[in-house]
Structure formats: C-alpha cells, structure tokens
Amino acid sequence: MPDTSLPVSSRSPDMGRRRFMAQFSLLGVGGALLPAFLLERLQEGEKITAEMLAEAEGVLGLQFTDAERELMLEDVNETLESLQEIREVDIPNTVHPALSFDPVLPGRRFPAGHGSVRISQQPGVTRPANLEEVAFWPVVRLAELVRTRQVSSVELAQMYLDRLKRYGPQLECVVSLTEELALKQARRADAEIARGHYRGPLHGIPWGAKDLLAEDQYRTTWGAKPFEDQVIDEDATVVARLEEAGAVLVAKLTLGALAWGDVWFGGRTRNPWNLEQGSSGSSAGSAAATVAGLVGFAIGSETLGSIVSPSTRCGATGLRPTFGRVSRYGAMALSWSMDKLGPICRSVEDCALVLDAIHGADGKDPTARDVVFDWDPDVRLADLRIGYYKSAFDAERDDKAFDDQALVALRSLGVDLTPIELPDQFPVGALRIILNVEAAAAFDELTRSNRDDLLVRQVRRAWPNVFRQSRLIPAVEYIDANRIRTMLMGALEATLAGVDLFVTPSYGGSVLLTTNLTGHPSITLPNGFRDDGTPVSISFIGKLFGESSMMVAAKAYQDATGFHRQQPPTFAV
C-alpha cells in the first residue's frame, strides 16, 4: 500500500520543505499545479523562496542559475495568488476544457448524415417453451420476437430483471435495479407496437448502463464511495437516445471506481466463466451482465482499454467507436481527449444496431459530430483491404496459438491479409501522461478534499495515487505530449492508407494505447477458450469513422467461428 500520509498537504502540515517539494512542483518552474499547502502558507503571509525553487528543479529535471531564480520569484508568487483564485471556483465534472481533441487531421472530411442500416435476415425465429432460453439470444433475434409480438417487452424485461436479482449478487455486477422505470418503458413499448408504431430493432429490448451514465431517476455512483449517493438530475445523451429507440433500461451496472479496474465500492465484479476472477475493467458490470445473460446488451466506456479489457476477460463483443462518434454528455468525465462510449453485446451485428441508435452530435458534447454510419452485413469480404499487425502476431505470448488460428480462419474466408506495422518512432508509452493529467484535473477537488481516501483501492496504479503523482507533470510536457500525439496521428494515418482495417492481438504491441490516443475504433470479440474454460479475444481496428468496414470483417470471422455463442455454465439455461 502507498504512503497515504503524503499525497495532500493538509494531511501533513508540518512537512519539511524538501519532503514537500519531493511531492509537488511549482507552476512558475515547470507548469504543474501547486498544492494546497503552499496556498495555506500564502494566507499566512509566507512566500515561495529561491531555495524552494531550487528543490523543485530537481524534481522536474531542470537547473536554473541563482540570478534566474531571483528574477522568477516575484512572478511565481503572483502565480500562487492566481491559483488561489482558480481553486475557489467550483468546477463541476461536466465542464469541458476550452481546448478539445479532434482525431481528424486538418483537410480531412467525412460525409455527414445518418446513413442506412440493413439487418441480417432472421428466419424461423419462434418463441421457446421456456422464455428464459432467450436470455442469451443476440438483439437481432430478440428483436424479431418482439416485432412479431411473440414476446412482449414486459415479459422480456421481467425475465431479465429476475435473472439480475438471481445472479447479480454472484457477479457483483449491479449497482441499481431500475425495475420501476423498466416496466414503465416496457409497457409503453408494448402499447406502441400494438398500435403499429415499431421504432426499430431496439424497441422493447432490455439493456444495462455502466453506472457513469446519468439517469435522472436513479443514482449515478461512478463506482466510487465518495459518490455513492449521487443523483444527477438529467439523462445522458446515450440514455435518452436509447429511450427514443424504445430500449428498456433494467439496471445500472458496476464499474471499477472512477473507471479503473473491476473493484467498486460494493465489491469486485466477477468473470462469468470463473467466479474466482474479476471481470476486468472498467466496464466490468456491462461485460459480465451481458455475457451472463442478464441484459440484452449494455453500454460501456473506454479511455484506455475499459471496453477491450472486460470484453476479453468475459468473452463479450465490445465496440469502441471513433472518438467523437458518440456524445459523452451526461457521462462521467475522466479524460476529455480520450473518453469514448460504446456498446458491449453478444454479437458484432448487435453492436452495429446499438451504434446506429446512439451516434451523432447533440449540441452538448463539443467533440461529438455527425458522420454517416451505414450497416450492411452482406458486404463482401473480398471488397475490403484487411491488414494484420505482423510483429504483434509474431511475438511470443501465452495466447499466441489462438491469435494464429484467427489468421488461419480469416484466410479460409478468402481474405488476403496485408502485413502492417504501427509507427514506432514515437515514445507512445510516455504519452500516457495525457490521460493521467486530465484525470487528475477531472478529480482535482476529490484529491484536495482528502475524500480520495474513501476509494477502496489505494495501490500504485489506482486513481488516488495517480491523481496525486500527476501533479508533478509539468504543463509544458503535457502540451508537448499532445504535439507528439498529433505526429503519431499523422504517422498512423499514413500506415493505414493501404488498408480499410486491420486485425491484431487485443493487447499486441502498442496497439491499445496508440489507437486510444489517435481515436480509432476497435471491436473486440472472443476467439477461443483456454483449458480452464476462460475466453481469449481478438480485435479489429478500423479507420477513423470506419466502423462499418471493421464490423463487416469482424462479423464474418465471428459467424465462421461461433465462439460468441457459448454460454458460461454457471449461468446457462
């Protein structure tokens, strides 16, 4: 466990200057934020000294002369006063920075509009004698039951609510059942369908929301003890759009505290294939509940692996859309330049149907944009140029045999795979400071108030420690990291010029961090099961706003292999 006596100044008011400066740096020297301890000194009339600046330089890897320090002092102390004024302003988590990330480089254009969606045919869909058998059906089949009125939305909602009550405690995947709202929405769906007003394939389908999405009738806890009783008095855009599509919200599902890991204030969400394992995070509940047949589909979020990781661990099909494809309004902000919302489902086509309902600008999230999304599951693979991340497939690793077999399966479908390599001329790992700085700013007040102590996990990689140590990152390096990010975006665009998409081991090389930084879409799906019965995954990466081609290829692979149809024995019907 880390030394929790150090991170915030009010915990140790008698800390010596050297120990203090080992923890924090000064805006006038390197650009990092000043701690409350110095602000308290200022109130007492004490000022920053040249000796303190010298100690800060060691932390930042800088060295100034005595004359330079003396010249800086007056301005540094003026900056201290400015920071005091800034900290007195209440800044809600919902407030977006004035600077916004755009994954689209200058001069590039994408067609605007809604596009068209054509669902694959589902012949012979009939209601089973035991309705619970449909708990694991994909949305495309559930939708046909509802559309033909073989099953009512109320029946589906009640079936999933019963399973959530029965299995949710085992998986520790439910924060709040939304039973009253669900039955109200289901009754409305049934009435509309009876009148001939069918909204589309999500009409009457029960779903679950990662509990960082606001719904005004229920608490939105962000998985964290400090926000356990928080109620936000509006709906997230994604929640509102799914309601408009006729979907039925049955539960708010768990996430690791403040979107990290699978440990939340009520426990640890479990992997449906092995209850001794966590489900990974941070979209822990969304993946676990979907795979265990507790919801028809779910919404998750990803900043750096939070859809890819639990989809891998639980065997879900998880779509991370292009940055800006889906509005994040009403969702907890962690990193304004990296956060993305997307569906976690039981099939690729389900993800396409959900994306069709939730994508597009809303006038509230400044990064969200209208770009055409088309879905035609019958596009021929031969019409797509598909690459593969060669060095990642070649690398030795535990699950290599599964990934190699995925390439064999794709080639058996007639795919001529083109080897590609991701740009390696940039320090991609170092660019993670972008996420850390933005997350620390998003939860600045939590850190300064000491309420970060309420978070369950207080280990090195958990947010409390990351928020604290990120105050040592200078603003200049944060900006320079984003400039390198722009260079990385250009290099990746050049790499992908010859392909429409590429396939990769889900954690191969630098693919996870690189494509989250550049904003590219991905879809992760199961590609086999280990000897212990737990799933492994493969990922497909598309061009910016190239979800359609990416998912056509992924669906072809998924249909040919069928791993997504397997059910975890503990929850099978």
DSSP string, 349-412: HHHHHHHHHHBB--SSSTT-------B-TT--GGGS-EEEEHHHHHS--TTHHHHHHHHHHHHH
In a domain, 94, yes or no: no
What share of the chain in percent tops pLDDT 70?
Answer: 92
Region at 347 (left for phi over 0; alpha for psi -120 to 50; beta for the rest): beta
Distance CA 379, CA 375 (A): 9
**Over the Cα atoms of the chain, what is R_g?**
25
Residues 153, 15 share a domain: no
Looking at 36, 65, 89, which one is the last position of a domain? 89
pLDDT of residue 21: 33
pLDDT of residue 46: 73
Residues forming a β-bridge with 213: 331
Q: Is the pLDDT reported for residue 429 higher than 90?
A: yes
Cβ density class 439-460: b for 16+ within 10 Å, e for less: bbbbbbebbbeebbebbbbbee
Q: Is the pLDDT reported for residue 453 higher than 90?
A: yes
Query: How many domains are contained in the chain?
Result: 2
Residues 409, 285 share a domain: yes
Of how many residues is the chain composed? 573
> How does the average pLDDT of the chain come out, rounded?
91
Q: Is the pLDDT reported for residue 361 higher than 90?
A: yes
Residues 79, 141 share a domain: no
In the block, tokens 């598909």 appear at 386
Residues 388-413: what's their mean pLDDT? 98
Point out the residues that are catalytic.
210, 282, 306
Residues 85, 193 share a domain: no
Residues 107-121: what's their mean pLDDT? 91
> What confidence tier does 139 reach under pLDDT thresholds 50, 70, 90?
very high
DSSP code at position 332: P
Residues 317, 239 share a domain: yes
- Please give the residue that has the higher pLDDT: either 164 or 16: 164
Q: How many helices (H) and strands (E) does the chain have?
A: 19, 15
pLDDT of residue 37: 42
> What confidence tier does 45 reach under pLDDT thresholds 50, 70, 90?
low
> What confidence tier does 431 reach under pLDDT thresholds 50, 70, 90?
very high
pLDDT of residue 79: 79
DSSP code at position 11: G
In a domain, 207, yes or no: yes
Amino acid at 547: E
Residues 55, 175 share a domain: no
Q: Is the pLDDT reported for residue 103 higher than 90?
A: yes
Contacts of 133 (CB under 8 A, 6+ apart): 573
Name which of 20-24, 71-75, 81-85, 222-226 the model is least confident about.
Answer: 20-24
Give the torsion through C-alpha atoms of 280, 281, 287, 289, to 10 deg. Answer: 80
Residue 47's domain comprises: 1-89
Residues 487, 341 share a domain: yes
In a domain, 448, yes or no: no
pLDDT of residue 29: 36
pLDDT tens for each residue of 485-528: 999 999 999 999 999 999 999 999 999 999 999 999 999 999 99
pLDDT of residue 205: 99
Contacts of 225 (CB under 8 A, 6+ apart): 257, 265, 454, 455, 456
In a domain, 432, yes or no: no
Distance CA 151, CA 135 (A): 13
Measured CA distances, 147 to 139, 142, 153 (Å): 12, 9, 10
Helical pair 433-442 and 475-495, crossing angle rounded to 10 deg: 130
Q: Is the pLDDT reported for residue 230 higher than 90?
A: yes
> What confidence tier does 35 reach under pLDDT thresholds 50, 70, 90?
very low
In the block, tokens 């439910």 appear at 174
Looking at 89, 111, 144, which one is the last position of a domain? 89
Residues forming a β-bridge with 300: 342
Residues 181, 45 share a domain: no
Contacts of 287 (CB under 8 A, 6+ apart): 279, 280, 298, 300, 310, 311, 313, 314, 316, 318, 344
> What confidence tier does 203 reach under pLDDT thresholds 50, 70, 90?
very high
In the block, tokens 């930042």 appear at 60
Q: Is the pLDDT reported for residue 56 higher than 90?
A: no
> Do β-strands 340-345 and 317-320 pair in parallel, antiparallel, or remain unpaired?
antiparallel
Residues 362, 415 share a domain: yes
Q: What is the pTM of this model?
A: 0.91
Residues 288-295: what's their mean pLDDT? 98
Q: How far is CA 263 from the centre of its chain?
A: 16
In a domain, 95, yes or no: no
| DSSP-based three-state secondary structure for 249 | strand
In a domain, 333, yes or no: yes
Residues 276, 202 share a domain: yes
CATH number of the structural domain spanning residue 279: 3.90.1300.10
Residues 141, 65 share a domain: no
pLDDT of residue 561: 98
In a domain, 391, yes or no: yes
Contacts of 38 (CB under 8 A, 6+ apart): 9, 24, 26, 48, 80
Residues 140, 77 share a domain: no
Looking at 58, 89, 120, which one is the last position of a domain? 89
Q: Is the pLDDT reported for residue 32 higher than 70?
A: no
Closest CA relative to residue 489, chosen from 333, 322, 374, 325:
322
Q: Is the pLDDT reported for residue 181 higher than 50?
A: yes
In a domain, 111, yes or no: no
